[in-house]
Amino acid sequence: MNGRATFHFQIPVYFGGGAAVAGPKEGQGPMGPFFDLIYDSLQSAEDSWEKTETAMQRDALAKLLEKAALTDGSVDLLLGGDLINQLTVTNFAAVERDIPFLGLYNACATMAEGLLLASSLIGAGFIADAAVVASSHNATSERQFRFPTELGNQRPSWSQWTVTAAGAALLTNRPGPVRLISGTVGRVVDYGVKDANDMGAAMAPAAADTILRHLRAEKASPADYDLILTGDLGRRGRRLLLALLEKELADVDERFQDCGVWMFKENQDVYAGGSGAGCSASVWSGYLPRAMIRGQYRRVLLVGTGALLSAVSVGQGASIPAIAHAVELRTEGKEAR
């Protein structure tokens, strides 16, 4: 049962390039040097937050294709999503491209879901190239899930800061330095967390579940990996994940890292860290592949984490279900380039 829904991609799937676009605050963080484009305002040249987020996705996709020297016609499939109702942002970015499109929603696990699906389709031989995109924007999320951005309210230290960023990655069957080996589809897990500010706590059990299932299916232990990188658990969620995993595994240590923790410096006033679909999407498309090609990490497990809440479910007092999908990456060859 534990091997269920762990896919090994039969035809080799490779990372064919990535592009990341971020907002001003993210640009000042540790990931800043790895973004292709940094917006100097949350609302730049567009007349709404949502249009700005769409512009970020559009720019990320354009950069991706430009860097990979591809045209719309040579990409078989576009997969992507965001956090805004009915995938508003992604739909309006996709309309400008002439690529068949699958819209995805798994909250902040959307990038992982996209990578997993694209790899499966390439790995099964249905397509050769796929672009995966995901984004989030602090202000579009604030006003949809919480309060108007200018409201003078207080938030607890365990809440998280929605990242303004878009990340786009190209997956392909043409050989490259980084290969996607396998992936595990997550289960929706609900441990009864009701505090919509405490998303790290809501998502940690889902991440633990998927990591355990993936490791069992791969007959691996954390020590076999150089990095196990969760999407947006934040400092609190990461601590809770480690506490959950320590009961089941050895080597639960610094190899477990989180994009939400990586995104901002300690002094950037983001509470427990970054969150949002653009958080993992931009780190996985911007920083991570470069670090792998540099040889910093050889075997990596990406674990996208999503809190599946909505303004409606929170309003009705429901607990927060969560999901996590895992994708395993390795650098090709004995020697890292």
Please give the Cα distance from 56 to 167 (Å, whole number).
9
Q: Which is nearer to other proteins, 122 or 201 (CB)?
A: 201
Could you count the other beta carbons within 10 Å of the beta carbon of residue 86? 9
Is residue 36 close enough to count as binding other proteins by CB under 8 A?
no
Interaction between residue 236 and other proteins (CB under 8 A): yes
Contact residue for other proteins among 132, 240, 261, 324 (CB under 8 A):
240
Give the one residue of 1, 45, 69, 152 binding other proteins; rule: CB under 8 A. Answer: 152
With H, G, I as helix, E, B as strand and everything else as coil, classify residue 111: helix
How many residues make contact with other proteins (CB under 8 A)?
A: 28
Check residue 290 and give left, alpha or beta (phi > 0: left; psi -120 to 50: alpha): alpha
Q: Which two tokens stand for residue 256?
A: 């477990």
Six token digits for residue 193: 């967390």
Positions in 87-146 near other proteins (CB under 8 A):
143
Q: Is 171 in the site for other proteins (CB under 8 A)?
A: no
Q: 107-133 burial string, b = 16+ CB within 10 Å, else e?
A: bbbbbbbbbbbbbbbbbeeebbbbbbb
209 touching other proteins, by CB under 8 A? no
CB of 109 to other proteins, least distance (A): 20
Of 21-29, 47-55, 168-176, 282-290: span binding other proteins (CB under 8 A): 47-55
Q: How far is the CB of 147 from other proteins (least distance, A)?
A: 7
Record the tokens describing residue 122, joined without a space: 């390439």
- Considering only CA atoms, which of 115, 92, 289 is closest in space to residue 185? 115
Site residues (CB under 8 A) for other proteins, limited to 188-207: 191-193, 198, 201, 205
Residues found near other proteins in the complex (CB under 8 A): 47-50, 143, 147-158, 191-193, 198, 201, 205, 236, 239-240, 243-244
